[in-house]
Structure 1
Amino acid sequence: MGRALLFLSCWIFLLGWIHECGSAAAAAAVPGRSKFLAEKIVAKAAAVEINTSNTIWRVSEGFLCATLDWWPAEKCDYGTCSWKDASLLTMDLKHPLLENAIKALYPLTLRLGGSLQDRLFYKVGRSAQRPCSNFVKQQNSIFGFSEGCLNMSRWLELNSLFQRTGASVAFGLNALNGRQRVSKGVYSGSWDSTNAEDFIKFTHDSKIAIAAWELGNELSANGVGTTINSRQYATDVKSLREIIDGIYGDQIDRPMVVAPDGFFVAAWYQQLLQSTGPRVLDAVTRHIYNLGAGVDRHLIQKILSPTYLSQEAGAFKQMRDTVSRYGPWAQAWIGEAGGAYNSGQHLVNDAFVSSFWYLDQLGMAASHSTAVYCRQSLVGGNYALLRTNSYNPNPDYYSALLWKQVMGNDVLPATVVSETYLRAYAHCAKSNSGGLAVLLINMSNSTVYSVRLKLSGFAKSSKGSSRTPRLEYHLSAPLTDLQSQRIHLNGKLLDVTPDGNIPVLKPISVDSKQPITIAPLSIAFVVLPDAKLQACTIIE
């Protein structure tokens, strides 16, 4: 390692503390040391290879997605009740910060669903005279709650919010309606679609835009609460397709049909696709809670373990290959991903440390041909992007916002050379034709990486200008406290403005000839606006 690299700068301001550089053998003392940082901090060179000849995938415009759930305030896990008024039936739809937060992520896909969608009926049509009440605890019932009800006045209020914010909606329908419970965890019979059909028709006739209708939640293979066999599920999905075709006809903006929103088992998904056949399912969805239970004391260690996080790559690949082979007409979606199940863990899944998992997931999903990735949740539980009731953003909200602002839809292959704790993902830049955007994640607690980008496969003789400064967005936790619910951007605290708006995320400009310096336990988005990549050039 040359001295020019080791002495990149005598003082680097990245994490809210000042790091004094030294030689390779010596490490600097760090004032106000965090318990998450190692005793010795070293500098190290690293390289990221990016093949720019062709893009490998294009995510959908609505790739970034978040969920809204039906859980009432009485939903508790491990003695903690974290949902409060986050239910779709009770949340404050006129809170200005909620509205501004959704607008800032435009175009955001919102998936409305969760376990209790399969206990929900719609007070409309042939069910208009049924008594309508909220979910209440019921010990011996599936999911531990009684049946609940969505009345049409609330449905119109919800859609007023979606229309004001430009959100795209995927609605999860009750797939257990009409089935008979024969024993604990076992339901038999076919889906009774009459209530769903009345609801879909009301929605269509009310000119409410729906991007997708989804059938069921976590009822496939290793289902939660109960399981439906794949052939019966295929029959029910075909019924939903017939309803959609009958109501929407040949509309250009006809909603997609999506299923099963469950946990992935290749044989079950294969059978579903083979049994439905072409022109039935438009997207196949699975859920991810790869960190384990929300009560797990080792969540932070899992999040900061590259080896542990990489295990999910196998599931992404298997899902991609299953859809490609047995249902090439369908997209692959992540319909729900909260990291840790049973509402997550406070000061982990709602803290800065979660962004290492979340952004790695977004990068991994996009590089494995995933069209949409839905985060559980926008509001509610301990894994939400926004804090329950106040709607103040948690760190992952700002991470999502930067992804939306910087990373374009076209994905490029990126490889980190020989460094396990440094992750890299590359896309065409969002707002610069021909530009390059790179996400760098430093999971090391002891290494300041000095990163060089090695671009190959140029389709043009000109490789772009090195004179144009690159743009950098460095995310870090205040005082490197990974359990903080606050976040720094380039050393400055991000917070909503006094008038309740989401702050503007501004980069710093850096000489493109210099390597990218990324501090321990931090994340950086880097944009080369003048890369002039033909694969990323928009032809007018």
Structure 2
Amino acid sequence: MLSSVATSRSNSTRVRCAALLSVASSFVLLLTVAQLRELARLHRRPSSPSSRDERDDGPGSWEGRGNSSSSTSTSSVVAGPARGLATVPEEEEGDAHARRRRHHYMELSMSKSDARCLGIVEPEYVSSTLDFWPIGTEAWGNASVINADLRDPSLRAALGGLRPSFLRVGGSQADEIVYRMGDDDDDDDDEGDVANECRRRPQKCLTGKRWDDVMDFARDAGARVVLTIAYVRRTRVDGDDGGGGDNDARDWDPTNARELLERTRSNADHARAGTVYGFELGNELRHKGKIKNVTRIVEAYRELGRMVDEIWGRPNVTGGGGGGDRPPRPKILGPASTGGGETSFLVSEIGPYIDVATYHKYHGGGKDPDMHAYARSTSFYNHPAKLSGPGEAVERYVGRRASEDNVDDGERAASRLWVGEGAMAYNSGLPGVSDSFRGSLWFANLLGAMAKTKPLPHGVYCRQSLLGGHYELVSHESMVPNPDYWVAYLWKNLVGLKAVGPIISPGRKDSVELSSRITFGCCERPGKDTVLIHSFCAKSDDDGDVVFVVINISESRGINLNITMGGNRTVYRLQPNAGEGMRSQRVLLNGRPMSIGSDASLPAVHELGVTLARSDLTHVPPISIAFVVVHGANVEECLPSAR
């Protein structure tokens, strides 16, 4: 049985979050009648995101503001709803214009010795996918595994910017792909079922040459491939007219899959490098009753494992992939299900034959008419708290397997949990949302949450998709990165592998309890809080450095953070392009446009940070994501000795 990756399994405690104390009455006594009228007028005023006097300063205008305690309000109210909860600081009582522009104020800290690990992720935590989706659809164009330009310098640079990562190659159409792995891929005289299918449906044919191209693309960009092998195509019996048929008519035929495996192993360079990390079998097999016979699925996974063992050699007792000069053995992943009860059920059945448990997670439908409104609601950001079910299923299974004495040495037990495919919305995403900065606020919060799910953190999140759909990280039309790419890029450069907490906020009595949950800041007033915070060991943690990921989803109020720990801090603020708001597809980092250069170079992130002294306040504008690296924090969980 392969050894498991270290995970944090601290007990979670359900608490009822306290409501914010009302402070309005104490201020009414201090206000004059004229001031009350002015406040009433401001309350009636519509909060248009485009109104400059109703919102905070735009991108690039934060320099020098809110960076000293002398210029900041003394209010003790912390991050809450964007409007109507902030107190009126004494020095602003007679200044209506200042009241319109006031910021929230919040103190943050963390105990050096009492902070604990809330979850550990893998170095490839932020990963991506390529899809076999049909050629020619508007949202995909030339984005399929079959026809994407894998030699495009910008695309190669984009994937390389996420190294190390996994590139999951699959999707709904993966179950329909045939593999033509011979040396004469383009021989028109070749006969046989596979050759005939490839001539009839070239968009669903993976040739040996194209498979080599995919492996080259991944290896050159520091990624390893997880390939979804076709299941349904090899269990279906077509109807008499060549269409329809029964998806579940026979046992899985592994013949074509074996040809793929043998071709993969015969590529000596990629075999030695371990370019192919592993294989899945089928995509969402139980979704909408596509496959009902679970016994066949289990036996097919078992057969896939046998073939991999035969071609690469069985794993050794410590879970390694090979021995001596033998190349590393690819892992078996699955069930690639749609989550929830299906994941729990399938893991319990195929668990002995997989190394990593994978499932797919979307948070809405791209064709849902209510999705636009839902994505604008602050309650949408609470959704990640619901992601622990598959982890519970895996932990139950691993615990049961560990207690059994009759485990065959050749059997594996999944003890790692991935989202093998995930995005904001299925059905190719939601134009103007999942490909805009609004989606980036959600994505940053999700990455923070996935690392802390109980009882098992998600070690890897494969974002659907690198290319294709309205959720793509890189535009398949222009090869220009969308906003979510830059969230992933900064995460890779700045955030370490260990989530730590609790975050302590003296003005917030329940901060210790809240920050040990999925998202600090999301639960005091469910669906209302507009500042969400996650804390991790920084990627460069020699001095126990910590990074706070601060997501301000308010369109009108900034926040001033007083971080009372460590020494200097370096701040990286992502904002939409000036004047474009939530729908922007262009991103600024500390006021500078983010883009891939004409020479396919990526921005040097560490040269773009802004250094602040400990005594300075850290300003986080509306509609922004700030990565705040606190140097010299000396948090014990983040010191080299705790790795």
TM over 0.5: yes
Shift of 1:518: 1.2
Asked which structure has the greater CA Rg, the reply is: 2
Shift of 1:265: 2.9
Shift of 1:50: 4.6
User: 42, 55, 59: which is aligned to 2:121?
Assistant: 59
Give the secondary-structure state (helix, strand or coil) at the position aligned to 1:350: coil
Shift of 1:191: 1.3
Partner of 2:59: 15
Partner of 1:485: 585
2:332 is the alignment partner of 1:247: no
> 1:15 is aligned with what amino acid?
P
Matched residue count: 492
Give the secondary-structure state (helix, strand or coil) at the position aligned to 1:82: coil
Aligned mates of 1:440, 1:395 — CA distance in 2: 16
Aligned mates of 1:358, 1:233 — CA distance in 2: 33
For residues 342-367 of structure 1, the C-alpha deviation after alignment (integer angstroms, 9 at most, x for no partner) is 11122221111110111111111111
2:159 is the alignment partner of 1:159: no
User: 339, 345, 349: which is aligned to 1:271?
Assistant: 345
> 1:318 is aligned with what amino acid?
G
2:214 is the alignment partner of 1:115: no
2:574 is the alignment partner of 1:475: yes
Partner of 1:457: none
Residue correspondence of structure 1 range 310-349 to structure 2 within 5 A: 310-314=382-386, 316-327=387-398, 329-330=413-414, 331-349=416-434
Give the secondary-structure state (helix, strand or coil) at the position aligned to 2:168: strand
> 1:64 is aligned with what amino acid?
V
Aligned mates of 1:453, 1:185 — CA distance in 2: 61
Q: CA RMSD in A?
A: 2.9
CA contact (8 A) 1:68 1:377 kept: yes
Partner of 1:204: 265
Change (3 A) 1:317 1:514: same
Q: Higher strand proportion, which one?
A: 1
Residue correspondence of structure 1 range 133-152 to structure 2 within 5 A: 133=198, 148-152=204-208
Partner of 1:171: 227
Partner of 2:485: 397
Change (3 A) 1:378 1:277: closer
> 2:149 is aligned with what amino acid?
D
TM-score, structure 1 as length reference: 0.83
For residues 142-170 of structure 1, the C-alpha deviation after alignment (integer angstroms, 9 at most, x for no partner) is xxxx9821110111122222222221111
Partner of 1:424: 533
Partner of 1:46: 106
Shift of 1:116: 0.8
Q: Higher helix proportion, which one?
A: 2
Partner of 2:494: 406
5+ long unaligned stretches in structure 2: 1-22, 24-54, 74-86, 183-190, 316-320, 323-327, 400-412, 503-514
Once structures 1 and 2 are overlaid, which stretch shifts more, 525-534 or 243-252? Answer: 243-252
Shift of 1:387: 0.7
For residues 372-398 of structure 1, the C-alpha deviation after alignment (integer angstroms, 9 at most, x for no partner) is 101110011111000104211111111
Give the secondary-structure state (helix, strand or coil) at the position aligned to 1:473: strand
CA contact (8 A) 1:69 1:87 kept: yes
Residue correspondence of structure 1 range 519-534 to structure 2 within 5 A: 519-534=621-636
Aligned mates of 1:135, 1:476 — CA distance in 2: 48
TM-score, structure 2 as length reference: 0.71
Residue correspondence of structure 1 range 458-469 to structure 2 within 5 A: 466=566, 468-469=567-568
CA contact (8 A) 1:333 1:370 kept: yes
> 1:491 is aligned with what amino acid?
G
2:306 is the alignment partner of 1:231: no
Change (3 A) 1:365 1:22: closer
Shift of 1:173: 0.6
Shift of 1:485: 0.9
Change (3 A) 1:524 1:333: same
Aligned mates of 1:148, 1:496 — CA distance in 2: 32
Partner of 1:379: 467
Shift of 1:491: 1.6
Shift of 1:87: 1.0
Once structures 1 and 2 are overlaid, which stretch shifts more, 303-312 or 54-63? Answer: 303-312
Aligned mates of 2:199, 2:475 — CA distance in 1: 23
> 1:211 is aligned with what amino acid?
Y
For residues 20-43 of structure 1, the C-alpha deviation after alignment (integer angstroms, 9 at most, x for no partner) is 98975478879xxxxxxxx94432
Partner of 1:142: none
Partner of 1:460: none
Residue correspondence of structure 1 range 500-519 to structure 2 within 5 A: 500-505=600-605, 506-519=608-621
Paired-residue identity, %: 28
CA contact (8 A) 2:262 2:311 kept: yes
2:485 is the alignment partner of 1:441: no
Aligned mates of 2:581, 2:379 — CA distance in 1: 23
